[in-house]
Structures are given as C-alpha cells and as structure tokens.
Amino acid sequence: MYNQIDSNKRKSIILMMIFIAIIIGLGYIFDQVWNTGGTYLGVWIAIIVSLSMTALSYFTGDKIALSATGARPITKEENGYVYRLVENLSITAGLPMPKIYIIEDSAINAFATGRKPEMASIAVTRGAIDKLENEELEGVLAHELSHVKNYDIRFMTMVAVLVGAIVLLSDIFIRGGLFGGHGHGRKGSGGILIIVGIVLAILSPLIAEMIKMAISRKREYLADADGSLLTRYPEGLARALEKINQQSQPMQSASKATAHLFFANPFSGKKISSLFSTHPPIEDRVKQLRGMA
C-alpha cells in the first residue's frame, strides 16, 4: 500500500517535469525565432494569461462545481449516517470537517472540491447512499477525503495553468509563423527553427492534454491507495467500484466540465480512449486495490 502511494507520487512529479520541459522547449524556439534576447517573452505572456484565466476557477471553482451538479448541503440532523461517516474519517485523517452535500441522482458517485482542507466540501449522490453498503460508502468517502488531504484540487489547478500556457504559446507561435511574425528571427537556421517550432506547437497542446489526463489518473490511483490506508479495508472501495462498473446509466447532473472531479467517470457506458480519460479503468483500480497488503 505504501509502495503504491510512493509510486503514484513519483509518477506525478515526473509528468509535471515533462510539462515544464515542453514549455521550456517552446520558449527556447520562440526566443530563437523571434530573437527576444533570451527574455522568453512568449512564455511569460502565456503563463500570465493562463494564471489570470485560471484564477477565477481557482477561487470560485468549488461553488461553480457544486451549483452545476445541483448539490445541496445537508446537516447532521438531516442525515446522521453520512455525516458520522465523514466525521469519523476526518478525525482519523486529521482533517477539518468538510461541508457535506447531496446530489439527487440515482447513479453512484461522489466528488470533493476546495483548494485547501479548511475550505473543502464533499458531495455524494443519493445513489451512493442508497446502493452502497457501509464499508463501500466509507471507502468512497475516504477516497474523496484523500483528494482533500493531498491538495489534489490545488495540484490540478496548477496543471491547468501549465496546459493553458502551452496552448497559448503554441497559438502565438503558429499565428506568428504562418503570418510572417518571424521576420526578425535569426538568419540561417531561422527557417528550420520555424518549421520545427510550428510542428512542436501543433503537437504540444495534444501532448499536454494527454499528460494532464495521465496526471489526473495517477491522482486517482493515489487517492485509492490513501483512502484504503485510511479505512484499512481496500475491499470496501473495490466493491464500490465494481457496483459503479455495473451501472448502465450516466449521471444526469454531470458535464464534461465537472467530470474530472468525480470518484469515477460519470458517463458510465460511454467508451473513452484511456489516453484522454480523466479516470483509470475501473478494472485496473479494482486489481490494484485487491493487490494491496
């Protein structure tokens, strides 16, 4: 179990380093072609614009996600069962008690949001409460609390900034390359660099999106391992995933904008390439959970 946690952390760091390498590579070619004097002007512009665009989602994303899914807050008096499960897990994890929300949807799912533990919220569907056994629901809630503990919302926001920077930098490069913006570039190797730059600029957004999805999947594996460590019962989480895998109807309240937040892919039954999926295959998650000791 501890090996799984360490492995997922290492892989997330490696993927982040690849992200940064792509930005540096684009920045270097941008600098060489436009002769910006080593200032990496395009990189800074892309990062600043990406940060500005991401700031809104960073500070208000939790409210937007909860509102978009129709989640409503509950109290201990209204649903003491769910409240006590979250409360006990929070005490065990050493985390502040998050706000709890219910999504009136018959599908089994849940998600956590909030950029830090003190501002966290956990939303769980009515289907999860009604259809999961105690140990299964506890496993799902522990998984979501692990996202909070690991600052995954903040981490994925940083990833979004990097993806945005790559997309913007690529767009600047392609537009400049195609419409003559390279006129002040270095002589001799300028033409080759422009061709290499345009090819890299076209491929980089696709590669960046694939890396983003890969990081998201690694964080899901990490939350599975951390959640199992919290409950000391991986089988509960594995059984919950199997029940989700048997669902034929997608969530009614989910959208592409919020899909990455959920415990499992909310579009059940839809075939999505593993390269572009925000969640690992359920079969793989179950196999890893049952291999933990």
Instruction: Give the residue with greater pLDDT, 35 vs 278.
Output: 278
Element (H, E) at 92: helix 80-93
Range 29-38 average pLDDT: 68
> Domain range spanning residue 119?
1-292
pLDDT band at 6 (very low <50, low <70, confident <90, very high): confident
Q: What is the mean pLDDT of the chain?
A: 81
| Residues of the binding site | 143, 147, 220
pLDDT at 251: 85
Q: Are strands 121-125 and 99-103 parallel, antiparallel or unpaired?
A: parallel
pLDDT at 54: 65
pLDDT band at 14 (very low <50, low <70, confident <90, very high): confident
**Weakest mean pLDDT among 124-128, 134-138, 166-170:** 166-170
pLDDT at 37: 63
pLDDT at 97: 96
pLDDT at 92: 95
pLDDT band at 231 (very low <50, low <70, confident <90, very high): very high
Number of structural domains in the chain: 1
Q: Where are the beta strands (DSSP E) in the chain?
A: 72-73, 99-103, 110-113, 121-125
**HSE, side-chain direction, 13 A CA sphere, residue 173:** 34
| Residues of the binding site for Zn(2+) | 143, 147, 220
Whether pTM > 0.75 for this model: the answer is yes
Q: DSSP letter string over 15-65?
A: HHHHHHHHHHHHHHHHHHHHT-TT--HHHHHHHHHHHHHHHHHHHHHHHHH
3-state secondary structure of 275: helix
pLDDT at 164: 75
pLDDT at 190: 56
Separation between Cα atoms, residue 57 and residue 59, nearest integer Å: 6
Please list the active-site residues: 144
Name the most confidently modeled range: 106-115, 123-132, 265-274.
123-132
